[in-house]
């Protein structure tokens, strides 16, 4: 048998046994790894798939010997790819491999972070289909003595040539120019995005790769005896959550780098990861080798009233899933994605551990999942029957008709082994979101507050929003006895809180006091702010309108 045929057969065997933990499969894994380690590596698409299989096994090692074999292969893979820098085939690009480039688009702030990264370089790659040319953007930022250069209708590269910006400095130049608009973050974002600029991220260390980007462990490696797929979801989510890790400044900084690397290495971005507030990062070490990091955003990126809190879930230090939750009192929208190399493991258990973390860290008792997660405009969600994944773990359709249909379909599944819901039925389920309710009435939605604000502005101020905001701030400040020495971030929250106070007709001293404390807490501490919000909603000041 040729080396290529042997390699293909062994990689297939390894992939087939990666998520099996009986004695025979464990032996086959060790044997395949030992044989593959003796074969020369080949830079092709199969190598990237092999690296993904190694990632799954490293996160789910059956025993210490298997883990040792995988770690040796990671090192061999990194050395091989380093020796071929600049000559990697396209099949290896954008897979998070050591020493292999990624070409993608990132936001202004993410590019700024990457430019200062110790383990990679980032350079402009190309402009795809810009909505604005660079002249229109730099006209807003250049020193006045240079603005005339933007009136000659030069192309992007020609304009940068005239401004004496070297090719290797152009991304840093663009990022620095648009940093002048940091006080207007959303304007800055729009202008940078309008360039449609693709960048090339070039690793300068094996540390910038999926294989070596890991969260430090506070416990020994968890050796995987099996896959836990049958458990009581509710009991798990109600199991007492341990205290978060104590992090030194250096440990916090390193954890944040791992969290941000995780997104960059998969060509993804989420607002909580890009605009992560170090003070609002917590890491919880859970069972079966899992650790869940949750993190809020910097004050200038926070949402009104609700809190968008991101998460990354780690298994034996490897980032295996990411997502976020939009939290407002006892209610939260929730979304989760498992990274491709780690699918086929304990997906349900992992999701319930994340929900447990959010539920207990924030006092949430009602989680809602958008229909897109299980099939709306998402063919993969339909093909995988993702609706039933959520159903098995306690989520139910919000639509009474679809709830009844789901219960009937579940009976059919239980009665007929091997039966799969037809695509038509799964598509019908996407007509409603699903929710997990730990008990009690449905908590208020953001719209239950914002619609009352809109009605108040129309009724009391004839739609004059600046007047409504100014008057609300003045009246609330007086009622709450707030001082005038507020930061810019606190003033933003004050404008939101004042409108809520007026629209909800909050006149009791306790409600006013809670809102006043939110003004100070929201920009600094997402956890303290959520406690205040729970207390504010506790007496039924706002009820959900179905």
Residue 209 falls within a domain, yes or no? no
* Confidence at 544, pLDDT banded by 50, 70, 90: confident
Q: Give tens-digit pLDDT for 30-70.
A: 999 999 999 999 999 999 999 999 999 999 999 999 999 99
The reply to whether 113 falls in a domain is yes
Considering the domain architecture, whether residues 342 and 256 belong to the same structural domain is answered as yes
* Average confidence (pLDDT) over 82-97: 94
Tokens 């990126």 appear where? 301
Tokens of 246: 């104590």
Domain that holds residue 405: 235-284+306-437
Residue 406 within any structural domain of the chain: yes
Q: Encode pLDDT of 444-469 as tens digits.
A: 999 999 999 999 999 999 999 999 99
Same domain, 263 and 397: yes
Average pLDDT over residues 475-499: 93
Q: How confident is residue 539, by pLDDT bands cut at 50, 70 and 90?
A: confident
Q: Strand, coil or helix: what is 292? A: strand
Mean pLDDT over residues 332-361, rounded?
Answer: 97
Confidence band, pLDDT 50/70/90 cuts, at residue 2: confident
Same domain, 182 and 275: no
Same domain, 272 and 159: no
At 163, the pLDDT band (50, 70, 90 cuts) reads: very high
pLDDT attached to residue 243:
98
**Structural domain includes residue 40:** yes
Backbone angle region of 316, left / alpha / beta, with phi > 0 → left and psi within -120 to 50 → alpha: left
The tens digit of pLDDT for each residue in 207-251 reads 999 999 999 998 899 999 999 999 999 999 999 999 999 999 999
| Chain-centroid distance, C-alpha 287 | 22
pLDDT tens column, 105-120? 999 999 999 999 999 9
Q: Output phi, psi for 93, to 5 deg.
A: -65, 150
Of 402, 437, 472, the residue that ends a domain is: 437
Q: Is 322 helix (H, G, I), strand (E, B) or coil?
A: strand
pTM of the model as a whole: 0.96
Are 133 and 262 part of one and the same domain?
A: no
Q: Where are the alpha helices (DSSP H) in 303-441?
A: 347-362, 379-383, 386-392, 400-415, 423-429
Q: How many structural domains is the chain composed of?
A: 4
> 432 and 500: one domain?
no
Residue 117, pLDDT score: 98
- 159: tokens are 């304009």
Question: Are residues 277 and 422 located together in one domain of the fold?
Answer: yes
Going by pLDDT thresholds of 50, 70 and 90, the confidence category of residue 545 is confident
Instruction: Mark which of 437, 469, 504 sits at the end of a domain.
Output: 437
Is 257 a domain residue?
Answer: yes
Q: Mean pLDDT for the chain?
A: 96
Same domain, 506 and 382: no
Same domain for 72 and 165, yes or no, is: no
- The DSSP output letter for 22 is S
437, 458, 475: which is the final residue of a domain? 437
**220 domain-assigned:** no
In a domain, 523, yes or no: yes
**Is the same domain home to 57 and 148?**
no
3-class secondary-structure state, position 71: helix
Confidence of residue 5 (pLDDT cuts 50, 70, 90): confident
Of residues 342 and 3, more confidently modeled? 342
Read off the pLDDT of each residue in 386-396 and give the average, rounded to a whole number. Answer: 97
- Decide if 297 is inside a domain: no
pLDDT tens digits for 259-309? 999 999 999 999 999 999 999 999 999 999 999 999 999 999 999 999 999
Which residues make Cβ contacts (< 8 Å) with residue 146, sequence separation at least 6?
A: 163
Which of residues 132 and 341 earns the better pLDDT score? 341
Q: What is the pLDDT of residues 231-243, one digit of tens each?
A: 999 999 999 999 9
Predicted pLDDT of residue 267:
97
Report the C-alpha gap between 497 and 487 in whole angstroms: 15
pLDDT band at 76, cuts 50/70/90?
very high
**Three-state secondary-structure class, residue 316:** coil
- Same domain, yes or no, for 198 and 240? no
Name the residue among 369, 421, 428 with its Cα closest to residue 401.
Answer: 428
Q: What is the CATH number of the domain that holds 367?
A: 3.40.630.30
Please tell me whether residues 253 and 128 are part of one structural domain.
no
């Amino acid at each position: 048998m040729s080396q290529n045929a042997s390699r293909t057969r062994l990689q297939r065997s390894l992939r087939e046994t990666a998520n099996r933990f009986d004695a025979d499969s464990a032996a086959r894994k060790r044997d395949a790894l030992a044989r593959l380690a003796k074969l020369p590596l080949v830079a092709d698409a199969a190598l990237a798939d092999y690296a993904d299989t190694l990632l799954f096994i490293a996160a789910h090692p059956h025993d210490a010997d298997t883990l040792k074999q995988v770690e040796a292969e990671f090192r061999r893979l990194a050395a091989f790819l380093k020796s071929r820098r600049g000559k990697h085939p396209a099949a290896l690009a954008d897979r998070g491999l050591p020493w292999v480039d990624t070409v993608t688009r990132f936001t202004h702030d993410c590019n700024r972070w990457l430019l200062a990264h110790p383990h990679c370089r980032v350079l402009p790659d190309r402009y795809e289909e810009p909505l604005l040319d660079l002249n229109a953007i730099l006209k807003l930022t250049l020193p006045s003595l240079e603005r005339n250069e933007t009136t000659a209708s030069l192309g992007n590269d020609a304009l940068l040539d005239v401004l004496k910006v070297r090719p290797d400095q152009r991304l840093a130049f663009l990022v620095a120019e648009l940093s002048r608009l940091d006080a207007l973050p959303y304007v800055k974002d729009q202008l940078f995005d309008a360039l449609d600029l693709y960048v090339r991220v070039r690793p300068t260390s094996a540390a910038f790769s999926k294989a070596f980007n890991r969260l430090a462990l506070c416990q020994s490696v968890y050796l995987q005896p099996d896959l836990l797929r049958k458990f009581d979801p509710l009991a798990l989510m109600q199991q007492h959550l341990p205290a978060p890790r104590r992090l030194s400044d250096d440990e916090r900084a390193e954890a944040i780098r791992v969290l941000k690397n995780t997104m960059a290495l998969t060509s993804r971005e989420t607002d909580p990861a890009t605009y992560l507030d170090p003070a609002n990062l917590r890491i919880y070490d859970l069972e079966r080798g899992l650790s869940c990091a949750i993190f809020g955003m910097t004050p200038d990126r926070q949402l009104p009233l609700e809190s968008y809190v991101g998460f990354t879930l780690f298994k034996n230090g490897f980032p295996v899933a990411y997502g976020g939750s939009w939290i407002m009192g006892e209610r939260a929208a929730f979304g989760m994605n498992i990274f491709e190399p780690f699918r086929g493991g304990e997906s349900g258990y992992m999701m319930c551990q994340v929900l447990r973390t959010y539920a207990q860290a924030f006092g949430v008792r009602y989680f809602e999942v958008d229909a897109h997660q299980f099939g709306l405009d998402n063919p993969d969600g339909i093909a995988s029957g993702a609706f039933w994944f959520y159903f098995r773990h306690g989520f139910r359709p919000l639509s009474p008709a679809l709830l009844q249909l789901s219960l009937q379909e579940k009976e059919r599944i239980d009665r007929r082994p091997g039966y799969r819901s037809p695509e038509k039925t799964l598509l019908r389920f996407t007509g409603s979101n699903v929710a997990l309710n730990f008990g009690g009435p449905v908590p208020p939605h953001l719209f239950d507050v914002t619609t009352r604000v809109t009605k108040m502005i129309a009724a009391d101020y004839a739609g004059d929003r600046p007047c409504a905001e100014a008057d609300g701030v003045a009246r609330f400040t007086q009622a709450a006895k707030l001082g005038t020495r507020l930061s810019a971030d606190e003033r933003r929250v004050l404008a939101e809180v004042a409108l809520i106070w007026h629209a909800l007709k909050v006149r009791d001293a306790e409600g006013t006091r809670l809102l006043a404390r939110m003004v100070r807490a929201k920009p600094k501490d997402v956890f303290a702010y959520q406690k205040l919000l729970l207390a504010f909603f506790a007496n039924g000041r706002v009820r959900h309108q179905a």
